[in-house]
Amino acid sequence: MIVVGTPGDRRADLFGAAARAHGLGEITVVPWTEVLTGAPLRFSGLVRVDSPGESAEADALLRGAGDPTRVGGGATWYTRFMEGLGRVAQAGGELLADVGEIATMFDKRRCHALLASAGLPVPGGVTVNSYGELREQMRARAWPRVFVKPAHGSSASGVIAFETSGTRLRAVTSATEDLRNSLAVRTYTDESTVARIVDTLAPDGLHVERWFPKASVAGGCFDLRVVTVAGRPTHAVARVSRVPMTNLHLGGKRGDLGEIRARLGAARWDEAMDVCARTAACFPGSLTTGVDLMIGADWRSMAVAEVNAFGDLLPGLGALDGSGLTTYECQARAVAAGWRPCAT
């Protein structure tokens, strides 16, 4: 079995152990650097595509040389990533994730439109090309609070939680003033700084979503990362944070999922999992998805924020069915049982 990824990366190691445990044999890791430099590729058997995000060398091949912590470069990254996926698809073998579906998940504008067309709950969204256009759209739509997201970003890179009230404004982001990503979330109230960050990111494409007020528990607001395998929700983690972005690497903490399920009640929890299953059904060629589901402040409404192609790295998290299986073990089990793209 082939894994396109990064040798020594946790994802490859964890999936490799799961594959062996479920009778799929040893895996061979083909580095993204080989894919991106155009090395000859020839695969046979099953092929799993993993994230290139843990390799600084792969990032340089995708975005170009420069500080790997810099914000931006998403459009170049996306173009080269898709070219690499095309080479993977042409190399033979049977992919466990559809290349076109990965492309959609890595374009927030396309993904949002797909989910909306399928009748799934999503926040209102619009594309903008500058800070000036952002303000115009907010005024026209009467949206005082929005999330500004780079179209091809991940891990909250460049994401801005932006709100206005009269002449005052507030922007919360992990981007520094010199346009680098930081693990420390910061707040800006100076319009010139916010405008510079937005206008720097705008050429790569910006997806703007109406702010969806999230429910809160002790420790802050939260959302759910729900991993689906073979179209079924298998794992969920509550990400709790005192800032608008709940990403765990930005200071978010794992919340008490049992407490949240009890507060929602069985019927509402089942509804939430159904939304995630319906979201996964939009990507029938992908063995796994990571659905970011927001529960509203009223504890009744819900909305899908994003869908992640590589959202399954949740070490130590047991399956919802009580089996104790990890996200990778559930995937290996499904493949060993015969799951294939679009299989019913």
194-246 tens-digit pLDDT = 999 999 999 999 999 999 999 999 999 999 999 999 999 999 999 999 999 99
Return the pLDDT at 343. 47
Return the pLDDT at 271. 98
Residue 51: pLDDT band by 50, 70, 90 thresholds?
very high
Is residue 8 pLDDT above 90, yes or no? no
Cα separation, 237 vs 220, whole angstroms: 15
Cα separation, 326 vs 319, whole angstroms: 6
Assign 44 to helix, strand or coil.
coil
Domain covering 213-336, topology: D-amino Acid Aminotransferase; Chain A, domain 1 (3.30.470)
Residue 140: pLDDT band by 50, 70, 90 thresholds?
very high
Is residue 344 pLDDT above 60, yes or no? no
Mean of the pLDDT values across residues 125-140? Answer: 98
What's the whole-number average pLDDT of the chain?
95
Cα separation, 204 vs 281, whole angstroms: 29
Is residue 342 pLDDT above 80, yes or no? no
The residue that leads in pLDDT, 184 or 293, is 293
Can you give the pTM of this predicted structure? 0.96
Is residue 157 pLDDT above 60, yes or no? yes
* Pick from 203, 147, 152, 194: nearest CA to 175: 194
Return the pLDDT at 281. 98
* Pick from 132, 282, 112, 291: nearest CA to 209: 112
Q: What is the pLDDT of residues 243-297, one digit of tens each?
A: 999 998 888 999 999 999 999 999 999 999 999 999 999 999 999 999 999 999 9
* Pick from 224, 215, 210: nearest CA to 293: 224
Domain ranges of the chain: 2-95, 125-210, 213-336
* Pick from 148, 109, 152: nearest CA to 131: 148
Burial class (CB in 10 A: 0-12, 13-18, 19+), 250: buried
